[in-house]
Amino acid sequence: MQSLSHAPTDPAFVQDPYPFYDRLRAAGDLALWRDYGLICATSHRAVHALLRDRRFGREIPAELVMPVPEHLRPFYRIEDNSMLELEAPRHPRLRGLVLRAFTTRRIRDLGPDIAALTHRLIDDFPEGEVDLLPAFCQPIPVIVIARLLGVPDSMAPQLLDWSNAMVAMYQARRTAEIEHAAARAAADFALFLEGYIDRRRATPRNDLLTDLIAAEEAGERLTTDELIATCVLLLNAGHEATVHTMGNGIKTLLETGTAITAANAAPVVEEILRHDPPLHMFTRYAYEDAALFGHRFRRGDKVALLLGAAGRDPHVYAEPQRFDPARAAPAHHAFGGGPHFCVGAPLARLELCVALPILFARLPGLRLSQPPRYGDVYHFHGLEKLMVRR
């Protein structure tokens, strides 16, 4: 197996990681990324296989679990109850209970609210230049999740601050300062949600939080810690991915001159997700010895699935660097796959398919006013600013 090196915080990589992915993929379905010390799945077929192979999973094998540092206990109190980090038997139980509340109909019914919110945000744009990240891309998913949970819109900025502090823990630039900030945010977020959950138990309403509290299967319900972790996951995962996708997508549409309307929104959004996805790396642990793609994994081995590389695999996508919403090709992996396929994918797709056509219809002369730059947030991939003029 070949090994290659490229620091994920290197400015050139931050702005364009795809040439390095091409080098990794040219080495085979699997290659060693020395900076992480991880074997990486780089091809579409390898990522697809590992997402669905039950011999691999998200939960750390018991013998590899390390004691949690005292200063990070508030963060891992939530993390340890998140279905994203669990496998059977807890994962299917939690996912099943969440899906009982997070229904297709509930998501579909959000369409008019998303459209109204989109119009209001555009109405509030200042004259001249505007940074679309704080003015448009960030508020939509945060306010939608807040409303789903029955939290007032006025709480959205606080939810966003907590979310930003917590998701920074997954970035390559993680520091002790980031760890302490994430722990404080987790503690404050949990305290807020505990009070909110208590109020909803006493006074149910027509919102997702009430339905999550009531969700039951074979006499089992979500515990308070599981409810907190689920609410945090819905906000953190939904906010981070949708904000980056919306920003990356607007950038690409403007740079390529691609039109998006209500009629063609679905294929355009899918191509945005393939071409420049919001999450580039997702890891798995081997739960038993397994031979795949010429390599023998041992129990406890960690493998990185490079979702960003899989979407640019030339064996699957002709001219993968070209943005082409009309391409006929297999599905991308931007939302993962298998048992951990993103539960928020239908909501993210709805937000993008509703908001982006309205933005371009309302502002047909929209253009970039400054070259967009990506932020140092790997293994996420998103812009730090998106300056435009009408």
Going by the DSSP 8-state scheme, the letter that residue 217 receives in this structure is B
- C-beta neighbour count of 114 within 10 angstroms: 22
Tokens of 29: 């379905």
Q: What pairing do the DSSP bridges indicate for beta strands 383-385 and 373-374?
A: antiparallel
For residue 325, which of 269, 379, 378 has the smallest C-alpha distance? 269
* Ramachandran angles phi, psi of 60, nearest 5°: -70, 130
Quickly tell me which residue has 């949970």 as its tokens: 149
Dihedral class, residue 36 (left if φ above 0, else alpha if ψ from -120 to 50, else beta): alpha
Q: Residue 237 has what pLDDT?
A: 82
Which pair of structure tokens corresponds to residue 117? 């919110």
Cα of 290 vs its chain's centroid, Å:
28
What are the tens digits of pLDDT across the range 299-316?
Answer: 999 999 999 999 999 999
Rg (CA), the chain: 21
- pLDDT tens by residue, 21-32: 999 999 999 999
**Cβ-based neighbours of 192, under 8 Å, separated by 6 or more:** none
Distance CA 269, CA 219 (A): 40
Is residue 239 predicted with pLDDT exceeding 90?
A: no
What is the per-residue pLDDT across 266-281, written as a single tens digit (0 to 9) for each?
999 999 999 999 999 9
Question: Domain 3-389 carries which CATH code?
Answer: 1.10.630.10
What confidence tens digit (pLDDT) does each residue in 109-148 have?
999 999 999 999 999 999 999 999 999 999 999 999 999 9
Residue 166 contacts residue 234 (beta carbons within 8 Å): no
Q: Domain segments of the chain: what residues?
A: 3-389
Q: What local confidence, expressed as pLDDT, does residue 218 receive?
A: 76
Residues 147-191 pLDDT 10s: 999 999 999 999 999 999 999 999 999 999 999 999 999 999 999
Percent of the chain with pLDDT over 70: 100
pLDDT of residue 238 exceeding 80 = no
Residue in the block written with tokens 């997700």: 273
